[in-house]
Amino acid sequence: MSEINWEQLRSSAVAAMKTAYAPYSKFPVGVAALVSDGRIVSGCNVENASYGLGLCAECGLVSNLMATGGGRLVAILCVDGQGNYLAPCGRCRQLLFEHGGSHALLMTDDGPQTMATMLPWAFGPDDLDRNER
């Protein structure tokens, strides 16, 4: 895998954010990620009048990942409506961890951080077989 082009990921995240459907919160979010095979996937938040049914941008990103061939997330960048870095909520960190693992990188105001740092003591697929050990 070549070096991560964070500016390209930011541009893709901003482009995704501009397609967000956020009429209620007025808080559009976009996310983009580099996949292990070199492609970039993205997603945006999609709100709903029944607030609890809204989808975070990361949900769209993971759906895009699976719909375009799967793979592992290597680097992830999430932005708000002004294009500033945005940390995903806990639920979305869990989604990203599932599809990128502990070594996937998430861009923050402090620079790239591993998912292990962003979601310490994460629960993952390896934990599901604990009762069989």
What is the per-residue pLDDT across 95-132, written as a single tens digit (0 to 9) for each? 999 999 999 999 999 999 999 999 999 888 888 887 76
Range of the domain at 32: 6-132
Q: Please give the model's pTM, rounded to 2 decimal places.
A: 0.93
Is 109 inside any structural domain? yes
pLDDT tens across 49-91, in order? 999 999 999 999 999 999 999 999 999 999 999 999 999 999 9
Is 97 inside any structural domain? yes
| Domain count for the chain | 1
- Residues designated as active site: 58
Is 1 inside any structural domain? no
Is 124 inside any structural domain? yes
Is 93 inside any structural domain? yes
Q: What is the CATH number of the domain that holds 125?
A: 3.40.140.10
Q: Which residues of 88-104 are buried (b: 16+ CB within 10 A; e: fewer)?
A: beeebbbbbbebbbeeb
